[in-house]
Amino acid sequence: MRTAQAGGNNDQVQGFAPVAGTGARVLVLGSMPGVASLRQGRYYAHPRNAFWPIAASVFGFDPGLDYAQRLQALQAARVALWDVLQACERPGSLDADIRGDTLVANDFAAFLERHPAIVRVCFNGAKAAALYRRHVLPGLAVPLEYMDLPSTSPAHAAASFEHKLAAWNRALKIED
């Protein structure tokens, strides 16, 4: 949701609550939802974002399912969704436009305490990885495996869908 601040600044954005089942093993982290996602109140809502087609391909569900069913499919696959940031100022959707002096990271220590089965964190793009490593990791004492993945954002056109799918397929599947 976009909220106006005193002084007329409407670039303040708030992220979403995590989506995680009790047995989640993999946590997918973005940086902060884009404008389309914020407007719809849904993770990866931009129609050209490749996240849902990739997840559907990896886990064998229809990417055209309604949002609640897609979230259920991820939870059944033991995958959780969240973002590194709880809040920030950012005009538009580009990670490059996040104002560094406005960042508020999510509470990962509390989240990981509630979800102790998580063993792998997958970063949806370089900005999510950089933000996490700078603003979260130094204060975190939980040993986890980290995987940097190509962004599923339509702004990351340098990698083909097939390249993204191959990388995400390796990262999302985890042995028990």
- Tell me the two tokens of residue 20: 């995680």
Active site residue 49: yes
CA 115 to chain centre: 16
d(CA 149, CA 128): 10
A 10 A CB-CB count for 9 gives 12
Best CA proximity match to 105, nearest among 140, 141, 142, 135:
135
Q: Are 125 and 157 in contact (CB under 8 A)?
A: no
Q: Are 73 and 18 in contact (CB under 8 A)?
A: no
Q: Are 43 and 16 in contact (CB under 8 A)?
A: yes
d(CA 89, CA 10): 8
Return the SS3 of 87: strand
Query: DSSP code of 19?
Result: B
Q: Which of 9, 49, 106, 124 is catalytic?
A: 49
Active-site residue numbers? 49
